[in-house]
Amino acid sequence: MATLSDPPSESFQLSKLISDTRYRSYTFQLIALIALILVFAYLGSNLASNLADAGLNISFGFLSQSAGYDINQALIEYNNQMTHWRATLVGALNTLLVALLGCVLATIIGVVVGVLRLSKNWLIARIMSVYVEIFRNVPVLIWILIIYFVMTAAMPSARDYLGEEPERNLLLGLFAFTNRGVYIPAPIFQPMGWVVLGVFLASIVAAIAYRRYATKLLYDTGKLLPTGWPTLAILILPVLIAFFVLGQPIALDRPDPLANRFNLQGGIPISGAFIALWFALSIYTAAFIAENVRAGILAVSRGQSEAAASLGLRPKRVMNLVILPQALRVIIPPVISQYLNLTKNSSLAIAVGYMDLTGTLGGITLNQTGRAIECILLLMLFYLAISLAISAVMNAYNSAIKLKER
C-alpha cells in the first residue's frame, strides 16, 4: 500500500543565494547595503584624514560663543551678545514662520485660483490662466526681488508719519505702511487676558467640531444645517463675552508717531523683507497648487456634479460637499511637494536681507567662525527634519481622507 510522505528536504547551498529566486533579491539588497556602507566609510575616513592634515577637527563648541551681530527680526529675545546657538534658533524660527504662513496663504490662493480656472465665466477663467502661466514660469527669486523693490519704492517713508502734523495718518489709527515695513498693534495681555485667548482657541475647536457634525448629519440623514453664520457666531460671540465680562484684559500697544523723531515706536514692526519673501513665495507656489486643484477637480466624474445638481444642491454646495472632498485624494500628494518646495525656497531670504536660518547659521555664523562643515551639516539636518515633519503630517492627513475600501 502506497503512503504519502513529505519530499526530502534539500540541504542549503551557497549557490542558491544567486540561483534561487527565493533568496536572490535579499542577496542583491545585502550587497548594495554593504557597498553603501563602504562608500560612506571611505568618505568619512577621507574627510577625517584631510581635516587632520590641515590641523582641523569637527567641533560644535562655536555655538556657545558670542554671536556679535544683530538680527532685524526676532520672534524671541535676542541681542548681539548672545550665543551663535541663540542666533541659530532665531533664524530657525524665522524660517518656520515664513514657511508656515507661506503654506497657508499659498493654499488659500491656490484653491481659489484652481476653482476659478474652471469657471464658466470666460474672462475670469482667462485671467486665472494668465496668473498661473506668468507666476509659475518666472523664477521665484525674481518675484522676491520685484516685490521687495516695489515695496521700498512705492511705500511712503516713515518720516511721513512722524511729528505733530504728519503728512500721513495711521490707517484706522492702528497701522502704518512704510518702505521699512509695516507696523501693527501689539496685544498686551493682563493676567486674565490669557483666559480670553484660551476661549478663542476653544472656539476654533468648537467651530471645527460643529462643521464636522453638520457634514456627518448631511451624509447620514440628508438634513442640511447652516454652517456659515453658526461658525462665525461660535468663533466671535464667546470671545466677545469673555472679553467684556473679564474687564477687557487685552489692550493694544499702537505705533506712536510722536515717540521718536526718526522712526515709529511701539507696536510690532514687520520688516519689508519678510513681507516680500512671504508674499512672493505664496503667490509663486499658489500657481502650482492651483494646477493641482484644477487637476483634482477634473479627475472627479462629471456625473457626480450632475447627480448632486439633480438633488437640488446649489453649485457652491456641490463644490464643497461633493467635488472637493473627492478631489482631495488627487490634490494632496502633489501639494505636499509644493509645501516642501516653498519651505526650501525660503532659503532665498538672504537676497532681500531677511535673516532666516540660511542667513544666520549658513551666512554670518559660518563666515565668523569658519566652521563650514559643522554649519552645513546643521543646515542639512534642519531642512531634512522640517521636510520629514511636513511629509509626515500631510501623509497622515492624506491617509485620513483617502477612500476606504472593503
Q: Is 171 helix (H, G, I), strand (E, B) or coil?
A: strand
CB atoms within 10 A of CB 403: 6
Any idea what DSSP says for residue 265? B
Task: Name the 3-class secondary structure at 170.
Answer: coil
pLDDT of residue 253: 72
Contacts by 315-323, CB closer than 8 A, 24 or more apart: 319/115, 321/215, 321/218, 323/297
The single residue listed with the C-alpha cell 482631495 is 328
Please identify which residue in the block is written with the cell numbers 543565494: 17
Q: Looking at the whole model, is its pTM more than 0.75? A: yes
Q: Tell me what pLDDT residue 113 has.
A: 92
pLDDT for the residue numbered 287: 93
Q: Regarding beta strands 268-271 and 181-184, do their DSSP bridges make them parallel or antiparallel, or are they unpaired?
A: antiparallel
Span 112-152, pLDDT tens digits: 999 899 888 889 989 999 999 999 899 999 999 998 888 88
Q: Which of the 8 DSSP states describes residue 75?
A: S
- Provide the pLDDT for residue 193: 78
Give the three cell numbers for residue 329.
485624494
Q: Is the dihedral of CA 247, 252, 256, 259 positive or negative?
A: positive
d(CA 249, CA 200): 14
CA atoms lying within 13 Å on the CB side of residue 198:
7
Contact indicator for 287, 129 with CB cutoff of 8 Å = no
Helix 372-401 / helix 324-345 crossing angle, nearest 10 deg: 180
Given a contact cutoff of 8 angstroms between Cβ atoms, the answer to whether 140 and 344 are in contact is no
DSSP secondary structure string for all residues of 13-61: -TTHHHH-HHHHHHHHHHHHHHHHHHHHHHHHHHHHHHHHHTT-----G
Residue ranges of the chain with per-residue pLDDT less than 50: 1
Contact 224, 316 (CB under 8 A): no
Task: Determine the Cα–Cα distance for residues 285 and 135; give it in Å rounded to an integer.
Answer: 8
The answer to whether 36 and 45 are in contact (CB under 8 A) is no
107-122 confidence digits (pLDDT tens): 999 999 998 998 888 8
What percentage of the chain's residues is helix, strand, coil (to nearest 5)?
A: 65, 5, 25
Starting at the edge strand that comes first in sequence, how are the strands of the sheet with 176-178 ordered? 176-178, 181-184, 268-271
pLDDT of residue 6: 55
